[in-house]
Amino acid sequence: MAVSFSDVQLAFDFVSSGGMGENQALLDRHSGKIHWHPEVLGEGVLEELPDDIDDEKYIEIPHRNELDLGRPLVMGFVGEFLPEDYDDVRRFFGKRGAYRRFKDLAARRGVIDRWHDFSAKAEEVALRAWCEENSIELGG
């Protein structure tokens, strides 16, 4: 069954909104249904997972870092659009808050919108490739 790419993208954004392992989304390849499992639960948020959740028909939606969309993506952008800041940004990643410092730098340099476009395109390409690698049929 085909699953909507926008649904996969939404689940990917949910999983990536927290740290690795904080949020989980499982796609039922047969029905196209996505099961959401947040680490931090609010009242009425948790849905019952199916009894057969360990069946191979389910696949976990990846976190952005699993698709090399963290540091490698930032460094690729910096190499292309901010080459003079490459060493500084590389050093950012030796400490906490690297992504925030990078985004602050991109804003100061006037390339924050370019970063958002670059990141969105890379995410879509990587997520579509992940779907293809995992035999997930995409539709509408």
How far apart CA 111 and CA 123 sit, in angstroms, is 18
pLDDT in tens, 54-80: 668 889 999 998 998 889 999 999 999
CA–CA separation, 52 vs 58, rounded Å? 9
The chain-wide mean pLDDT, for the chain, equals 89
**Confidence check: pLDDT of 96 > 80:** yes
DSSP secondary structure of 10-43: HHHHHHHTSSTTTEEEEEETTT--EEEEESSPPT
CA nearest neighbour of 137 among 11, 7, 38? 7
Confidence band of 120 (pLDDT split at 50, 70, 90): very high
Output the pLDDT for position 53. Answer: 66
**Residue partners of 19: CB distance under 8 A and separation at least 6:** none
pLDDT tens column, 14-46: 999 888 888 889 999 888 989 888 775 554 455
